[in-house]
Amino acid sequence: MNEARINIRQLSVFYEGKAALKDISLAIPDHQITVIIGPSGCGKTTLLRSINRLIDSTEGVKISGEIWVDGDNVLDPKADVTSIRKKIGLLSQKPSPLPMSIYDNVAYGPRIHGLKDRKALDRTIHDCLQTVSLWDEVKDRLRAPASKLSLGQQQRLCLARSLAVQPEILLCDEPTSALDPISSRNIESKLTQLKDKYTIVIVTHILRQARRLADYVVLLYLGELVEHGPARDILENPKESVTQSYIRGEIS
């Protein structure tokens, strides 16, 4: 297994006193696609949102434990949340373009982080849109509202926006659930290509997608870590009875 970029140690998360995650310890390998699976309500999104501190925005949440990324505990109260979210990008379940032009959507993050040079911005917009195979589709209408794009194009734009701040880790929360099959395959294809440059963590409820994408699999059930390991081991030869039942479709 590749060296772990993200090390989670004894992570527990409570919402209004109710446990959503219970004592999770896990190492997530670098430059692979790690897929988190499990039935609805098992804590998949909670785990994902803890890694880049988006969990902070949830009212009544209480967190204990540590999440180490490149030697820094991101859950440390003194941690710089802005720099954490620059390093750790997020692609949400539903496309969420900003209410501005295609160009300004991708330029938004770099501008916030101090990039003012127009030529450098132009280069960033071109490179990021090219990476997600959107440049040829939008190069003649970069000043058009992003809301005019199709859902699939909007999700690729959101991926380009995440890449524009040069993250090192990409978190993806059900990134294709709002898309048609062709757009879904486009996103899957891009993520597969990007794993050479990024550490990618994906939450999905679609086992077929996990089989297509995963190098490493994590199974959660009722807030607990049941089993994790290389995708082939977990999806084809799981050791735990809960995993076996989930893979057979007996738990959903």
- Asked if pLDDT for residue 1 goes beyond 70, the answer is no
Question: Within the chain, what is the greatest distance between any pair of CA atoms?
Answer: 57
Q: What does the alpha-carbon distance between residue 90 and residue 173 come to, in Å, rounded to a whole number? A: 8
Decide: 33 and 191 in contact? Cβ < 8 Å.
yes
Q: Say whether 201 sits in a helix, a strand or coil.
A: strand
Question: Residue 178 — very low, low, confident or very high, per pLDDT cuts 50/70/90?
Answer: confident
Q: Give the pLDDT confidence of 25-34 residue by residue, as tens digits.
A: 999 999 999 9
61-69 and 72-73 as β-strands: parallel, antiparallel, unpaired? antiparallel
Question: Residue 251 — very low, low, confident or very high, per pLDDT cuts 50/70/90?
Answer: confident
The mean per-residue pLDDT over the stretch 12-24 comes to 95
Average pLDDT along the chain: 94
pLDDT at 119: 96
Helices 118-131 and 151-163 cross at an angle (nearest 10°) of 130
Buried b (16+ CB within 10 A) or exposed e, 61-98: bebebebbbeeeebbeeeeeeeebbbbbbbbbeebebe
The mean per-residue pLDDT over the stretch 197-215 comes to 95
Q: What does the alpha-carbon distance between residue 5 and residue 185 come to, in Å, rounded to a whole number? A: 27
Q: Say whether 106 sits in a helix, a strand or coil.
A: helix
The mean per-residue pLDDT over the stretch 36-45 comes to 94
Q: What does the alpha-carbon distance between residue 226 and residue 184 come to, in Å, rounded to a whole number? A: 28
Q: What does the alpha-carbon distance between residue 243 and residue 226 come to, in Å, rounded to a whole number? A: 7
The mean per-residue pLDDT over the stretch 18-41 comes to 95
The mean per-residue pLDDT over the stretch 188-205 comes to 94
Question: For 98, which DSSP code?
Answer: -
The mean per-residue pLDDT over the stretch 200-221 comes to 96
Single pTM value for the model: 0.93
The mean per-residue pLDDT over the stretch 62-76 comes to 94
Decide: 217 and 196 in contact? Cβ < 8 Å.
no
Q: How many CB atoms lie within 10 A of CB 9?
A: 15
- Asked if pLDDT for residue 244 goes beyond 60, the answer is yes
Among 2, 4, 1, CA closest to 67: 4
CATH dotted code for 4-94+169-247: 3.40.50.300
pLDDT at 15: 93
Start-to-end CA distance of the chain, whole Å, equals 29
Q: What does the alpha-carbon distance between residue 123 and residue 125 come to, in Å, rounded to a whole number? A: 6
Decide: 228 and 219 in contact? Cβ < 8 Å.
yes
The domain locations on the chain are: 4-94+169-247
Q: Give the pLDDT confidence of 86-114 residue by residue, as tens digits.
A: 899 999 999 999 999 999 999 999 999 89
- Asked if pLDDT for residue 2 goes beyond 60, the answer is no
φ/ψ of 227, rounded to 5, equals: -160, 145
- Asked if pLDDT for residue 3 goes beyond 80, the answer is no
φ/ψ of 60, rounded to 5, equals: 75, 15
Q: What does the alpha-carbon distance between residue 162 and residue 108 come to, in Å, rounded to a whole number? A: 10
